[in-house]
Amino acid sequence: MKINKNNTGKKIELTVELSWEELKPYLDEAAKKISKDVKVEGFRPGHVPYDILKKKIGEMEIVQEAANAAINKTASKVLKDEVKEDEHLIGQPQVKLTKVAVDSPLEYKINISLMPEIKLSKYKELGIKEKKVEIKDEEIEKVIKDLQNMRAKEKITDHAVQDGDKVLVDIDMFLDKVPIEGGQGKGTAVMVGGDYIIPGFDKELIGAKKNDIREFKLPYPKDHYQKNLAGKIVEFKVKINEVYEREVPKADEEFAKTLGAKSMDDVKKQIKENMEAEQKQKNEQKMVIEIFETILKSTSFSHIPDSMVHSEAHNMIHELKHNVEQQGAKFEDYLIHIKKSAEEMEKELMPEAEKRVKTSLMLSEVVKIEKIKVEEKELTEAIEKQLEIYKDNPEMKKKADTPEFKNYVQYNLINQKVIDKLKEWNVVN
C-alpha cells in the first residue's frame, strides 16, 4: 500500500494506492457477497465461482464492490498511522474513490480539516447591559382580548357583514388584471376588525352579504415578505361564502373561571408572569448573541474549514425543512413558493453557517483556556433525566442509550457551562 501525505496547513490530504494484488482478497469477498443476490443455475446463493460470476455480471461490478470494502477496511488505519498527535483534526474525514479499473491499482483520497489557530482577544468584562423586563398594561389587555376572541360563540347569520363578524371568503388576486401565482384562496376566514395581512382588507367586506362579490384595490405593505408584491397595488376579487355573528364573552369572574382562575386579577397576574418569563428568555438570548458577536469581532482564525461550513449549512436546511413540516406543509411546496432550489437556499445560508462555525470554534477555545469540563456525575445525571423522559418510548430510549448520545449530551452541557460563564463575566445591571 502506497500513501502520499500532503499537509496544507488547512487540511491533510492522503492519497492511498492499493495494488491489484492487495485488492484480490477483497475481490473474493465482493464476489461472495454479490453472488448471494445473483441467481446462477446450478449454484447456491453465495457460492457462485468468481469466473462464472464475472461472465454473468461483468468484472467491473465486482471490482467496484471490492473497492468499497477495501476503503472501509483500510481508511481508519491509514488515518491512525499517518496523522501525528500535534496535527489536530476537526470534523469528519471526506473519502473519495479516484481510480478503479480491472487489473489496475485502486486509488482513493482522504481529506480531513485541521483545527484552525484561534487567537482570542478580550472575552471578559465586556460590559453588556442587562435589559430590564417591563410588561405594559395594554400588552396584558391584548392577551385577554385574544383569549376572549378564542372563546367566542359563533353562529351563521344572514345579516350584512359588520365589525366583529367572521367571514368565510374565496379570494382571487391580480396584478394589472393578471392572476397572481399562488394568489387564490378558498374558504379563507377573515375576522372583521382584527389584524389582517393586508391593512384595510376586512373593512372592504363591511356591508356585503352571503354570495356577494366585492372587487377592490389595496396597496401591499412596502416591507412585505413577498418581494414581488411589496409596495404594489393589488386587485382583489372576493366572494362572500358565509357570515358568522360572534358573541365574545365579557372579561368577568365567570370568564376567569373558564381559564382556571378565581378572578380577573388572578388572570392578569398569571399573564404578566408568563410574559415576563418569556421576555426574560428573549432578552437573555439577545444578550448571549451580543456577547458572541462582540468576542468574534476581536477573534482571529487562521482559516475556517470549508467542510464544517458546508456541513452547518446542510444542517440549517434540515432545520428549515423540519420547521416547515412541523407547520403541516411540504418542504418541496415551500421551495416552489419562494422559487428557489435546496441548493440555492444552502448557498444563501453559507454566510450564517460560517458565523455559526466561528462561534462554535470560539466557544471551544474559551473552554480550552478556562479548562471548563463536565464531571462524570453531571453527565450521568443528565443522561438519566433523558432516559426517564423516553421511558415510554422504547425506540427513543434505545437511541438515547448509545455512546453517540452520551457525546451529544456532554457537548450540550459544556456549551451551557461556557455560556453561563460568559454571561457571568460580561453582563452588568
**For position 386, what pLDDT does the model report?**
83
Question: Could you tell me if 308 and 113 are in contact, meaning their C-beta atoms sit under 8 angstroms apart?
Answer: yes
105 in a structural domain? yes
Residues 178 and 87 in one domain: no
**For position 169, what pLDDT does the model report?**
96
Q: Residue 337 corresponds to which cell in the numbers above?
A: 413558493
Q: Compute the distance between CA of residue 314 and CA of residue 305 in angstroms, rounded to an integer.
A: 15
Q: Which of 197, 223, 247 is the last residue of a domain?
A: 247
95 in a structural domain? yes
Residue 49 sits in a domain whose CATH number is 3.30.70.1050
356 in a structural domain? no
284 in a structural domain? no
pTM for the full predicted model:
0.75
Q: Which of 247, 281, 300 is the last residue of a domain?
A: 247
Residues 35 and 106 in one domain: yes
**For position 429, what pLDDT does the model report?**
82
**For position 257, what pLDDT does the model report?**
94
**For position 327, what pLDDT does the model report?**
85
Count of domains for the chain: 2
Question: Could you tell me if 372 and 414 are in contact, meaning their C-beta atoms sit under 8 angstroms apart?
Answer: yes
Q: Are strands 166-175 and 213-219 parallel, antiparallel or unpaired?
A: unpaired
Q: Which of 227, 247, 267 is the last residue of a domain?
A: 247
Residues 110 and 24 in one domain: yes
Residues 77 and 166 in one domain: no
Residues 15 and 103 in one domain: yes
Residues 13 and 104 in one domain: yes
Judged by phi (left if over 0) then psi (alpha if -120 to 50, else beta), residue 376 lies in: alpha
Residue 55, exposed/middle/buried by CB under 10 A (0-12, 13-18, 19+)?
A: exposed
Residues 10 and 105 in one domain: yes
184 in a structural domain? yes
275 in a structural domain? no
Residues 161 and 80 in one domain: no
**For position 352, what pLDDT does the model report?**
96
Residues 162 and 108 in one domain: no
Question: Could you tell me if 88 and 365 are in contact, meaning their C-beta atoms sit under 8 angstroms apart?
Answer: no
Question: Could you tell me if 96 and 109 are in contact, meaning their C-beta atoms sit under 8 angstroms apart?
Answer: yes
Q: Compute the distance between CA of residue 158 and CA of residue 245 in angstroms, rounded to an integer.
A: 9
**For position 91, what pLDDT does the model report?**
85
**For position 163, what pLDDT does the model report?**
93
Q: Compute the distance between CA of residue 155 and CA of residue 169 in angstroms, rounded to an integer.
A: 16
Residues 72 and 175 in one domain: no
Q: Which domain holds residue 29?
A: 2-115
**For position 42, what pLDDT does the model report?**
84
Neighbouring CB atoms inside 10 A of 223's CB total: 7
Positions of the chain with pLDDT under 70: none
**For position 194, what pLDDT does the model report?**
77
Residues 159 and 225 in one domain: yes
Question: Could you tell me if 291 and 426 are in contact, meaning their C-beta atoms sit under 8 angstroms apart?
Answer: yes
**For position 47, what pLDDT does the model report?**
87
Residue 197 sits in a domain whose CATH number is 3.10.50.40
The closest alpha carbon to 190, from 181, 200, 182, belongs to 200
Residues 16 and 111 in one domain: yes
The closest alpha carbon to 411, from 369, 383, 385, belongs to 383
Q: Compute the distance between CA of residue 405 and CA of residue 337 in angstroms, rounded to an integer.
A: 36
